[in-house]
Amino acid sequence: LRTVEVRGRYESARRLRSTIGSVFRYAIATARADTDPTSALRGALIRPTVTPRAAITDPKALGGLLRAIESFDGQPATRAALKLMALLFPRPGELRAAEWDEFDFKTSVWTIPEARMKMRRPHRVPLSRQAVCILAELRKISEIGTLLFPSVRSAARPISDNTLNAALRRMGYSKNEATAHGFRATASTLLNECGKWHPDAVERQLAHIENNNVRRAYARAEHWEERARMMQWWADYLEKIENAGRRG
């Protein structure tokens, strides 16, 4: 653990301690070990510093970003990925590794498998009309395969975690102005501020992990119908602020 920690990978060290602890607890349960040595390390490892990701929450500035994405002259698939990040606001890794069989176009739902979810349970995302159109266009340019966003080097691997942020830098946005992960904060802020949607519906769509037991119990409610309406409203709203700048 110290070997990992001295490299500055504090979060990795904490996760590794948790994994090792799980192994030892299983060993104790199966009479293969007497104690869990990681229990003595609780609080001993350096806590990682949480740095908020840059996000644009001003509607006018957001409209400018959306127009910049629309005119992006890089890979069409990268442009499509950024549009979907804005519309659906998943975690970047959840979108980068998305596969076509996760999408049900009859019901307009994207189901992200638990293996890619931070909360380790499947997550459903209602697809707006705009998102479905982008996916349809993406399907036309994608090579035959399982991934929506295959790497240019290998169709069996998704684009790298730096691809989307690199595209934002190419558009002129610094890391202190916009990030791929920041689309989540953008949606969270504006959806909550508009006052049209229940906060739990917003949180459920963001797939946030609830730390409070009472809040976690309430979060079990899917709020599905409200989320579907909310996602279409959000897509219409983004379309509106994007087009407003063009008229101006």
Q: Which residues are catalytically annotated?
A: 91, 118, 181, 184, 208, 218
Pairwise CA distance, residues 135 & 129, whole Å: 10
SS3 89: coil
Contact between residue 122 and residue 129 where contact means Cβ atoms under 8 Å apart:
no
Q: Is the dihedral of CA 92, 158, 67, 241 positive or negative?
A: negative
Q: What DSSP assignment string belongs to 128-178?
A: PHHHHHHHHHHHHHSPSSSBSSB-SS-TTSBPPTTHHHHHHHHTT--TTT-
- Of 62, 63, 78, the C-alpha closest to 162 is 78
Pairwise CA distance, residues 62 & 228, whole Å: 22
215 CB neighbour count, 10 Å cutoff: 12
Number of H helices, E strands in the chain: 11, 3
